[in-house]
Amino acid sequence: MIKRLTKNPIAMGMLGIILIIALLGIFAPFVAPHDPYEGNILNKFATFSWQYPLGTDNLGRCILSRLIYGIRPTLFLALITMIGTIGLGALMGVLAGYFKGPVDEVIMRIVDVMLSFPSQIMIFAVVALMGADVRNVILANIFIKWAWYARMIRCNVIKYRSRNFILYSRCIGTRETFILTRHLLPSIASELAVLATLDVGWAILNISTLSFLGLGVQAPIPEWGAMLSEAKNVMTTNPIQMIAPGVAIVVLIAAFNLLGDALRDVLDPKEMELS
Amino acid sequence: MKNYIAKRILTTIPLLLCITFICFVFINLIPSDPAEVALRIRQTPVITDEAIQAVRLELGLDDPFLLRYLNWLGDSLHFDFGVSYTNPSRTVLGEIARCLPATLQLAGASLLIVILLSLPIGFFCAVYKDSWFDRLVRGLVFMTTAMPAYWVGLLLIWLVSIRWNLLPTSGAGSWQHLVLPAFTVALTYISTYIRLIRNNMLENMKEDYVLYAQARGLRQGTILVKHVLKNSLQTCIVAIGMSIPQLIAGTIVVENVFAWPGLGKLCITSIFNRDYPVIQTYVLMIGTLFILFNLIFDIVQALADPRLRREAE
Amino acid sequence: MSEKILEVNNLSVVLRNKKTDKEILTGVSFQLRKGQCLGILGESGSGKSICAKAVMGLLDDQFKVSGEIWYKNENLLQLSKEKRRSLRGKEMAMILQNPMTCFDPLYRVADQIAETFETHMAIDKNKINAYAVRTLEKMLIRNPDDVLRKYPHQLSGGMLQRIMIGLALSMAPEVLVADEPTTAIDAATQYEIMREFEKIKQSGNTAMIFITHDLSVVSQIADYILVMNQGQVVDRGSYEHITKHASDLYTKRLIKNRLAVINKYREVLGI
């Protein structure tokens, strides 16, 4: 499976882009030309120059530096959210699908209830009530979205559960935890990978939207959504401030979506037959 | 058929109760004491313990949990949602009623744009599969899914209003004010529905009845519109219908960008002002709409498909 | 000998894939005379359905069709798509394998019959219903008015198959292609459907191409049989000729298996 992945040019390309962006973010202090918080108010709205490749914003800060430093909150918060959501969803889905019976019933009832409500609004509500803070945003996301993944993973688990090799394992009395970790997880890993990749895109969108509205990451942290919120007011004088973070968001989300699609194609059973 | 409808309605009631319960619980989860918050917002100069006690009595905060829930539920059913914390002279119902029409207007216009654009585009993408048109549309659809709605809004304002000076930048008033915000909201959904219709049509085109219709000598155009499209629309209409509440809720961000005086703006200001009754009622409203629309369109789907109609009987 | 209705010369079909071309049908030739029934025998994947679809013009652009199909002094493969469409359903009719899925589930039977009539005949709207009722009556369907008002999922497979046949015959076609018409039907209804086909043959007005994988079914109806395997005609002749003088290995195996079943049956019954 990994081998087929490496042969797919799109998947490799997107993985490359994402890795480069991630590395830029990690090594931001070495890569960015300026401090993202330091601004020379006299130099606001500067045009492109070698010193300030993307110019400066309304407070005289280097836009490019803020963009690079902004990778950290934008990308890494989304990754943390994804890990939490997928982790909780997968845990619940596996428990429900594997053990069936009352465990399944309880978990699925909860999932049904959670899925009956529009997720976007619920996230807003949770953030509203717990306060506008990054931590709350992440928790709200995890708390609301896990249900959707739980259901999908449960479907998958049920499909694999009746496969012969697992039945055999149970027959010879292997410990349940062993079966779960060594047999079941690898089977659903591929589906999980696709879901995870697509979820990162969604998380980036969600976190940046909340930050844009002032409910997530607060200024002056250079999160791309928050940057756009500041840019809104100075659109006429300095359009680049609005365009640059937006394009960055689009590129990042598009990269994750393409990667997710490519993964899905790679793991499609029909493709497996043809190759 | 009536049995099916009755059963569906019965299953919806517990869900509705659930959401009311969750909404109620939410309020009681806020970290600060609601009495204190109320006093603070009313800008009471000195917050003494007696004042807090008085407010607690006033708001009925000392009653047992279940009693408070039932009282609140009873009030809600009478559309009495209490008063706004920020401005006690205004009722929550009044606030929401004030802002609702603008949001409905925006949601309605967006829905219209979504339907008018996604149906024909999806149709032709399926009919001319893999043509330049199809590939172009799929590329655009992919890009739009990666674009945050608020950024699209900003871009549109910059291009259309500022640079080309075609439409006003913000506010409400005339139909010109409506165009950009409606289009921005619609854009998020258009991509989903183009994909949905295209995929549905492609699936249906492989069905046996298409082959038989061709074998009978029917014209391809007739087959596509009369048979394939109608079969594909089934799922699409239901999907579109069920997303109407999301459309209404999704205007929050766009209203913020375009300063559109609707529920979204109310919601955001309430969040910043910690006006919890308003938030609570808003969530309750959207949640109820969501469940109700799901119910309605479930039934519509059952009615529209003759096969399900019979099964339900 | 009756007149030649259809002549197929060296028909070949290639499936164009993104990477490779796959030859599905190679060098198929046969003739069809008026009132005759040609049987095409073969397993799934032998190319018999593709052959029928190629004759009817139902293959999409993924398939490249070459050779000649002569019908009324015209090579069908050189006609425009529109011209072929106007022949389909009227002069060349087809019956498909799964009647349960061949009708659009959202429209009543009456609507689907009516649209076929309207496509090919300049018929008065008021007369359509009467015509439809008559079509069903000819197929010995009781309560035709009731049946017409129903949706496809409310009718049985056998009934739908009869409606298909009736609809195909209502236009008085020159050629009727039946693609595995009995495969998806239960045995009792199969018998009745086969009787309908025999009636068609006896009337002598329509030439038939009968496609099946079942040797016993084809033996009942076909005057001349083509045995197909992997896209080629491997044997041809009457049923007696094939059972006794089959030249191809595949045919021989087919016959042997069939005769083994018959012999066992006789043995068990003590005949």
At residue B85, the pLDDT reads 66
Q: Facing residues of C33 across strands?
A: C4
Amino acid letter at A95? Answer: L
Q: In B, which residues are within 8 Å of C115 by CB distance?
A: 218, 222, 226
Q: Which range is least confidently modeled, A65-69, A137-141, B46-50, B111-115?
A: B46-50
Rama region for B274: left / alpha / beta (φ>0; ψ in -120 to 50; rest): left
Q: What is the pLDDT of residue C42?
A: 86
Q: How far apart are CA C111 and CA C152, in angstroms?
A: 11
**pLDDT level of residue B216 (50, 70, 90 thresholds):** very high
CB contact under 8 Å between B231 and C105, yes or no, is: yes
- Neighboring chain B residues of A125 at a CB cutoff of 8 Å: 26, 279, 283
Q: Would you call B222 and C115 a contact, using CB atoms and an 8 Å cutoff? A: yes
The confidence score (pLDDT) of residue B259 equals 86
Provide the pLDDT for residue A275.
Answer: 36
Contact B96, B279 (CB under 8 A): no
B155, A253: Cβ pair inside 8 Å? no
pLDDT of residue A272: 43
Query: What is d(CA A29, CA A40) in angstroms, rounded to the nearest whole number?
Result: 19
Interchain contact A158–B (C-beta under 8 A): no
Pairwise CA distance, residues A74 & A203, whole Å: 9
- CA A110 → CA A74, A113, A148, A155, A232, distances in Å? 30, 5, 11, 16, 40
Strand partners, C66: C12
Instruction: Give ∠ CA A159-A160-A166 in degrees, rounded to 5.
Output: 140
Q: Which residues of chain A have pLDDT under 70?
A: 1-5, 164, 176-177, 179-181, 268-275
B154 neighbors A224 (Cβ within 8 angstroms): no
Residue C176: closest CA among A102, B99, A130, B216: B216
Residue B214's pLDDT band (boundaries 50, 70, 90)?
very high
Q: Are C95 and C181 in contact (CB under 8 A)?
A: yes
Instruction: Tell me: pLDDT of B311 over 70.
Output: no
Question: At residue B227, does pLDDT exceed 50?
Answer: yes
**Reported pTM:** 0.82
Chain B residues whose C-beta is within 8 A of a chain A C-beta are: 15, 18-19, 26-27, 29-31, 142-143, 145-151, 154-155, 157-158, 162, 245-246, 249-250, 252-253, 256-257, 267-268, 270-272, 276, 279, 282-283, 286-287, 290-291, 294
Please state the ipTM of this predicted complex: 0.89
C158 has pLDDT over 80:
yes
Are the C-beta atoms of C254 and C219 separated by less than 8 Å? no
CA distance B302 to C5: 49
The residues, any chain, with a CB within 8 Å of residue A215's CB and separated by 6 or more, are A124, A127, A128, A132, A137, B268, B271
Q: Which residues pair with C177 in a beta bridge?
A: C94, C209
Tell me if A213 and B267 make a contact (CB, 8 A cut-off): no
Q: How far apart are CA B252 and CA B260, in angstroms?
A: 9
Q: Which of A129, A214, A258 sits opposite B26 (nearest CB)?
A: A129
The residues in C 105-134 lying below 8 A from B, measured between CB atoms, are 105-107, 115-116, 119-120
Please answer yes or no on whether C58 and B213 come within 8 Å at the CB atom: no
**Cβ–Cβ contact C59 with B under 8 A:** no
Mind listing the pLDDT tens digit for each residue in B128-183? 988 999 999 999 999 998 899 889 988 888 888 777 777 777 777 777 788 888 99
Instruction: Give the Cα-Cα-Cα angle B205, B206, B212 (nearest 5 degrees).
Output: 85
Interface touch B279/A116, C-beta < 8 Å: no
Task: Name the more confident of A83 and B48.
Answer: A83
Most confident of A82-91, B90-99, C14-23, C254-263: A82-91
pLDDT band at B68 (very low <50, low <70, confident <90, very high): confident
Report yes or no: C117 and C133 within 8 Å, Cβ to Cβ.
Answer: no
